Amino acid sequence: MGELKARVSDLSAEVESELSAQLTAMRTRWPNGRAPDVAFVEALVARLPRPRVEELYLAWWCGSGDKAAIAAFEVAYAEDLRALAGRFREVPADELRQQLRIKLFVGGDPAIRGYGGTGSLKSWLRVTAVRYFIDLTRSARSQRFEQEIDEGELLGVADPQGSQIRAELGAAVKAAFAMAVARLAPRQRVFLRHAYVDRHTLDQIASHYSIHRTTVARTLATAREQLIAETRANVAAAVGVDNEELASVIRMLDSRIDLSLSRVLDTNRRE
């Protein structure tokens, strides 16, 4: 740790004592851990006078891809990850944790290197895991929704094989619409399900949740507008079509959205 001593020679006695104690605790906790390098020293120095030595070291060590480091990390945070994964019901918890493991530790730029020590490693992990689990859940939900969508019903395409361009555009709209539905807020999806699957009126939905019917109407209108806007944006990004043709397709989608929503939001169809 000569490099560290050279960089922190101007520390107060109190800070130096605290830093020394944390470094000793780090070595005690992981006696066979990888020897720190300049990058780790830089991370410590950047967080003086109160660096989170053990957490910074564990993140740095895991970032090297060392199997022992990853095993130590997973032992330390197994219960936290198990509890977080259990909150997401649409994807098996084991799959969520495995995908997170890949994101955190695999590849040329593993996500664990993003931990900077400004807060606890546990808090950073929770935020990172929840965001990633949301993305995975949305992706799984989108794939499931896409399977439920009938392209002909969605766009009124009688013969999607008749035109390659039309078929490609139809497939792009189908995928984009499924992703847009998956990205809706839970409340939006629930209200849309009541409206399009259960065929409840605004007053019935409002009464069920003890809210004003105006709130229900606004939520439904916003959700529908969001679906159209996100579908348009995603299709435009995925397929090179002129604005006039895209506008025509989106108008068709807007006129036929009710039937597709009743399909993708009907949970009984997937039971």
pLDDT in tens, 193-246: 898 888 899 999 999 999 999 999 999 999 988 988 888 888 877 776 656 666
Q: What does the pLDDT read at residue 44? A: 77
In the chain the domains, ranked by start, together with CATH numbers, are 2-143 (1.10.1740.10), 150-270 (no CATH)
Q: Tell how far CA 136 is from the center of its chain.
A: 6
Q: Reduce the secondary structure of the chain to three states and give it as a string.
A: CHHHHHHCCCCCHHHHHHHHHHHHHHHHHCCCCCCCCHHHHHHHHHCCCCCCHHHHHHHHHHHCCCHHHHHHHHHHHHHHHHHHHCCCCCCCHHHHHHHHHHHHHCCCCCHHHHCCCCCCHHHHHHHHHHHHHHHHHHHHHHHHHHHHCCHHHHHCCCCCCCCHHHHHHHHHHHHHHHHHHHCCCHHHHHHHHHHHCCCCCHHHHHHHHCCCHHHHHHHHHHHHHHHHHHHHHHHHHHCCCCHHHHHHHHHHHHHHHHHHHHHHCCHHHHC
Q: What does the pLDDT read at residue 119? A: 87
Q: What does the pLDDT read at residue 75? A: 92
Q: Which has the closest alpha carbon to 3: 46, 36, 52?
A: 36
Instruction: Return the amino acid letter for 139.
Output: S
- Cβ atoms within 10 Å of 112's Cβ, excluding its own: 24
At 38-66, the pLDDT tens digits run 777 777 777 776 778 889 889 999 998 89
- Cβ atoms within 10 Å of 189's Cβ, excluding its own: 18
Q: Which has the closest alpha carbon to 132: 113, 109, 94, 104?
A: 104
Contacts of 218 (CB under 8 A, 6+ apart): none
- Half-sphere CA count of 91, side-chain side, radius 13 A: 23
Q: What percent of the chain has pLDDT over 70?
A: 76
Between these two residues, 162 and 250, which has the higher pLDDT value? 250
Q: What does the pLDDT read at residue 85? A: 92
Range name among 29-43, 152-166, 250-264 with the lowest pLDDT average: 152-166
Q: Does position 271 have pLDDT exceeding 60, yes or no?
A: no
What is the chain's Cα-based Rg?
26
Query: 49, 13 in Cβ contact below 8 A?
Result: no
Query: 213, 206 in Cβ contact below 8 A?
Result: yes
What is the average pLDDT across 168-173? 76
